[in-house]
Amino acid sequence: RPASGSSEGAVTLFKVSADATRAEPVTVRLGRASANRVQIVDGALREGDRIVLSDTSAWGKQAVRLR
């Protein structure tokens, strides 16, 4: 479950690239949530995609380079 994500709303998450060198922002709509999981109802994520779950608020809305 993302740090910034409340249930039932749109949030921006950072999707990790296949080579793990970049994280690109994607907007998703969240559905029901529990203590450690949240349902992705709509957006540019697919099963198996990796996302950043920690607080990314300082990153803004631009892609970032990962080390």
**16-38 tens-digit pLDDT:** 999 999 999 999 999 988 888 88
Burial letters 37-48, b for 16+ CB under 10 A, else e: ebebeebeeeee
**33-66 tens-digit pLDDT:** 888 888 899 999 999 999 998 888 899 889 999 9
CA distance 21 to 3: 21
In this structure, what token pair is assigned to residue 33? 């949530």
